[in-house]
């Protein structure tokens, strides 16, 4: 029987170290079929939906994909940029800027779901002679549903290679000094421009509560990072709050929920709120639409005056410097 391994490309030099940035992924177009394709790949990942196939597949194929894809495509259309989905555009710009900061090795980006896929980018790097790989998932806080599944996809691809690269993986950077500096500057820059709101809300993507009970460190890392930022910003306990957004399905997710909190604050007479989403390295549907549009409506409808969304770090220089320094630290001891 022929072994299932791909031949190693002929060695052409001493081997290369490469950095791979990975983000979640996004549809190729703001259309129903493209969103359906993307959601189907995403929601078949067992790290994301931990249900047995026989139970989940009928729900996914007959209820969720048909009902959700069109609705979500319209939301994507409302935030689409000239170069594509904001998540893709900002991740591409970030990777390009990081390449300038790390000129002596290739810096590439891939998406866990959709394009450019992890296998396609890894094969390109392999063809260029890559023998050492640093994987940096663009998630400051570790979760099995995000960071771990990136490693799964890398391992799945290289499990078919005869010569696998040496591998390093950055699991999280929620308390990294450089990243905290960048986040702090981002918030202060917003305040310099628009003044301080009555409250600063740290809104993180949610997870099923079940994941926390199973030992996922994500909520602890969200809390630790938000507290460090609040301290750096000199905020007292009643000036900031942490919530979780983007609930999916009927079971309980991490609480307190962002939308319910904003609704209550609107009713309680809180006038203005600044919302920052430190879990999102790049702006995307969950920030530009869910926070800046949907939750703004929730807040104002309940009586609030104004919700000001503080944009993600995206490709801004402080973010690039922080991630380049983080990568350099993890590359120590490797020739490049």
> Is residue 72 near ligand L6N33NVT by the rule CB under 6 A?
yes
Of the pair 33, 271, the CB lying nearest ligand L6N33NVT is at 33
Residue (of 41, 59, 10, 47) closest to 249 by Cα position: 59
**Residue 255 Cβ, how far from Fe ion at the closest point, in Å?**
17
- Decide if 315 contacts 100 (C-beta within 8 A): no
**Residue 2 Cβ, how far from ligand L6N33NVT at the closest point, in Å?**
38
> Is residue 309 near ligand L6N33NVT by the rule CB under 6 A?
no
| 205 assigned ligand-binding residue | yes
For residue 145, the partner it binds in ligand L6N33NVT, Fe ion, none, with Cβ less than 5 to 8 A by kind, is ligand L6N33NVT
Other C-beta atoms lying within 10 Å of the C-beta of residue 134: 24
For residue 109, the partner it binds in Fe ion, ligand L6N33NVT, none, with Cβ less than 5 to 8 A by kind, is none
Please count the residues of this chain forming the interface with ligand L6N33NVT, following the rule CB under 6 A: 23
Taking CB under 6 A as the rule, which mask of x and - marks residues 156-195 in contact with ligand L6N33NVT? ----------------------------------------
Q: If residue 275 lies in a helix (H) or strand (E), which one and from where to where?
A: strand 272-276
Other C-beta atoms lying within 10 Å of the C-beta of residue 110: 26
Q: Which of 19, 21, 22, 24 binds ligand L6N33NVT (CB under 6 A)?
A: 24
3-state secondary structure of 134: strand
* Subset of 30-59 contacting Fe ion (CB under 5 A): 57
* Subset of 250-289 contacting ligand L6N33NVT (CB under 6 A): 279-280, 284-286
Of the pair 42, 265, the CB lying nearest Fe ion is at 42
Could you tell me which residues come within 8 angstroms of residue 37 by beta carbon, excluding any fewer than 6 positions away? 27, 28, 114
Other C-beta atoms lying within 10 Å of the C-beta of residue 192: 8
Residue (of 102, 23, 39, 74) closest to 284 by Cα position: 23
Q: Compute φ and ψ for 197, nearest 5 degrees.
A: -80, 175
Give the whole-angstrom CA distance, residue 40 versus residue 64: 9
3-state secondary structure of 113: strand
For residue 57, the partner it binds in ligand L6N33NVT, Fe ion, none, with Cβ less than 5 to 8 A by kind, is Fe ion
**Residue 286 Cβ, how far from Fe ion at the closest point, in Å?**
7
> Is residue 87 near ligand L6N33NVT by the rule CB under 6 A?
yes
For the chain, how many residues are written? 336
Give the whole-angstrom CA distance, residue 319 versus residue 302: 35
Of the pair 45, 239, the CB lying nearest ligand L6N33NVT is at 45
Q: Would you state the torsion angle of the CA atoms of residues 253, 259, 228, 231, taken in this order, to the nearest 10 degrees?
A: -150
Q: At what angle do helices 32-43 and 65-79 cross, to 10 degrees?
A: 120
* Subset of 203-232 contacting ligand L6N33NVT (CB under 6 A): 205, 207, 218
**Residues in the site for ligand L6N33NVT, rule: CB under 6 A?**
24, 26, 39, 48-49, 68, 72, 85, 87, 139, 143, 145-146, 205, 207, 218, 246, 248, 279-280, 284-286
Residues belonging to the binding site for Fe(2+) are: 205, 286
**Residues in the site for Fe ion, rule: CB under 5 A?**
57
């Amino acid at each position: 029987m022929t072994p299932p391994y791909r031949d190693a490309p002929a060695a052409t030099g001493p081997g290369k170290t490469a950095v791979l940035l990975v983000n979640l992924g996004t549809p190729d177009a703001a259309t129903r079929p493209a969103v359906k394709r993307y959601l189907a790949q995403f929601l078949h990942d067992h790290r994301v939906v931990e249900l047995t196939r026989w139970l989940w597949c009928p729900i996914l194929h007959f209820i969720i994909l048909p009902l959700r894809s069109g609705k979500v495509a319209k939301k994507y259309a409302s935030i689409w940029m000239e170069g594509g989905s904001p998540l893709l555009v900002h991740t591409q710009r970030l990777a390009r800027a990081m390449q300038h900061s790390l000129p002596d090795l290739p810096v590439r980006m891939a998406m866990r779901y959709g394009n450019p896929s992890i296998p396609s980018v890894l094969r390109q790097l392999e063809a260029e002679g890559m023998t050492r790989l640093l994987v940096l998932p663009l998630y400051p806080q570790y979760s099995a549903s995000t960071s771990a599944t990136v490693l799964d996809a890398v391992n799945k691809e290289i499990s078919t290679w005869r010569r696998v690269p040496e591998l390093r993986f950055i699991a999280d950077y929620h308390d990294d000094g450089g990243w905290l500096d960048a986040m702090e500057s981002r918030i202060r820059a917003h305040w310099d421009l628009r003044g301080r709101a009555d409250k600063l809300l740290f809104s993180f993507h949610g997870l099923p509560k079940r994941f926390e009970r199973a030992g996922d460190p994500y909520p602890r890392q969200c809390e630790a990072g938000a507290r460090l930022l609040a301290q750096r910003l000199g905020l007292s306990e009643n000036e900031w709050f942490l919530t979780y957004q983007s609930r999916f399905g009927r079971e309980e997710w991490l609480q307190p929920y962002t939308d319910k909190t904003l609704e209550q604050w609107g009713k309680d007479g809180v006038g203005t709120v600044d919302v920052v989403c430190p879990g999102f390295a790049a702006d995307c549907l969950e920030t530009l639409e869910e926070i800046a549009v949907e939750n703004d409506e929730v807040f104002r409808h309940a009586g609030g005056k104004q919700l000001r969304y503080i944009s993600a770090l995206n490709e801004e220089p402080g973010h690039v410097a922080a991630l380049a320094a983080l990568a350099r630290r993890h590359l120590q001891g490797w020739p490049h």
